[in-house]
A = this chain, B = another copy of it.
Amino acid sequence: MSSSPRIAEHEIHEHFINRWSPRAFIPEAIDEKTLLSFFEAARWSPSAYNSQPWRFLYARRDTPNWERFLGLLNEFNRGWAQHASALVIVVSKTTFTAPGATEESPALWHTFDTGAAWAYLALQASISGWHTHAMAGFDQDKTREELKVPEGYDLHAAVAIGKLGDKSTLAEYLQARETPSPRMPLSKLAAEGDFSL
Contact = CB atoms under 8 A, between A and B. Distances in A.
Given A41-B16, A183-B43, A115 B111 contact: yes
20 contacts: A8-B40, A9-B36, A10-B36, A11-B40, A12-B37, A13-B15, A16-B44, A32-B192, A36-B186, A43-B183, A45-B119, A52-B184, A52-B189, A57-B191, A57-B193, A58-B192, A111-B112, A119-B119, A149-B195, A153-B195
Interface of A: 6, 8-13, 15-17, 19, 21, 32-33, 36-37, 39-46, 48, 50, 52, 54-60, 63-65, 68, 91, 108-109, 111-120, 122-124, 127, 132, 134, 136, 147-150, 153, 156-157, 181-184, 186, 189-197
A181 B91 CA distance: 22
Given A123-B123, A195-B150, A112 B109 contact: no
Contact of A124 (B12, B45, B52): B12
B124 A109 contact: no
Contact of A148 (B16, B17, B181, B194): B194
B118 A120 contact: no
Contacts of A112: 111-112, 114-115, 118, 156-157
A152 to B, nearest CB: 11
A197 B153 CA distance: 11
A43 to B, nearest CB: 5
Tally of this chain's copies: 2
Given A12-B124, A115-B116, A40 B186 contact: yes
Contacts of A190: 36, 39, 55-58
Given A16-B120, A59-B192, A113-B115, 17 more contacts: A9-B40, A15-B15, A19-B46, A39-B190, A44-B183, A50-B181, A55-B190, A55-B191, A57-B193, A58-B190, A58-B193, A60-B192, A68-B193, A111-B111, A112-B156, A115-B118, A115-B119
